[in-house]
Amino acid sequence: MSDPAVPRRPTLDLRSLTPARVALGRSGASVPTRALLDFTLDHARARDAVHAVFDAPCLVADLRALGLVVTEARSQAVDRRDYLRRPDLGRQLDAGSVELLARHASEPCQLAVVIGDGLSAAAVHAHAVALVSHLLPLLAEGGDVAIRHVVVASGARVALGDEIGAILGARMVVTLIGERPGLSAPDSLGAYLTFAPKPGRTDAERNCVSNIHKAGLSHDEAAFKIAWLVREGMAREVTGVALKDESADRVPRRIGTALPE
């Protein structure tokens, strides 16, 4: 038993600070019924997010309403079952998409944006259009960066953006994609940036801005980080481990300006 003469330390309610499963309590050797039911519900939501239908036409319409030129494409994964069992197929365009994108690649461009369903179409539907709407004015500042192509890709893995970017002749590609659902965030969006995209690029050659969702990184915060990385990546001609995210400390430079001494 505790000594009544020793004052008890105030208990911090960690649950008010994080959506993670902390301070659940205990019922015998197990967790309370409420905690178990909450876990079961969140697990079901995560599974539903993985198998949710990707409404590409609706996404295309919303992006065109922002004044963007949008093209649809798809990977070699013929259905969701195929996509989940064969990750490699989600990294390669089908023949029809290669031909379609080649017709749109009239001349090289600075920036292409790929929006893919990934492992959570729910995340893309919830956040992609809002994020792009926040990103556009940040990129337009100074008139030195413009999104020339937007591609909505079904059955997409992150690396699909490399092939798309290469076909379109983009200096950089930003791939917005649904992240693997977690028990606290089934609708988390990720942004992956790759300079000089081409098939075979590795994850070490990309920058990632992740956890874009209601309880995570907000649309305006994520857009600022992405815009900073786009400008710095183009100025330095590199992304990945060689480009550290210092957006909280520095103002992004105009494209073509020299690095500070």
User: pLDDT (tens digit, 0 to 9) for every residue of the chain, 261 residues total?
Assistant: 555 555 555 556 777 777 777 778 888 888 888 888 888 998 998 898 899 899 999 999 999 999 999 999 999 999 999 999 999 999 999 999 999 999 988 778 899 999 999 999 999 999 999 999 999 999 988 667 888 899 999 999 999 999 999 999 999 999 999 999 988 889 999 999 999 999 999 999 999 999 999 989 999 999 999 999 999 999 999 999 999 998 876 555 554 444 443
Res 139: pLDDT? 92
Residues 101, 115: Cα–Cα separation, whole Å: 14
Tokens of 190: 């990720």
pLDDT of residue 59: 96
Q: What is the pLDDT of residue 256?
A: 45
Cβ 112 vs Cβ 70: under 8 Å: no
DSSP element (H, E) containing 161: helix 160-168
pTM score of the predicted model: 0.85
Which pLDDT score, from 0 to 100, does residue 31 have? Answer: 86
169 Cβ contact partners less than 8 Å away, ≥ 6 residues apart: 105, 107, 108, 109
Residues 6+ apart with CB under 8 A from 60: 70, 72, 152
Backbone angles phi, psi at 153, to 5 degrees: -115, 130
Please give the pLDDT value at position 64: 96
CA angle, 26 then 31 then 37, to 5°: 140
pLDDT at 12: 63
Q: What is the pLDDT of residue 248?
A: 79
Task: Report DSSP letters for 87-116, one per residue.
Answer: GGGGGSB-HHHHHHHHHH-SS-EEEEEEEE
Q: At a CB cut-off of 8 Å and minimum separation 6, what does 172 contact?
A: 110, 111, 112, 165, 193, 194, 195, 196, 197, 230, 233, 234, 239
pLDDT of 24 reads 82
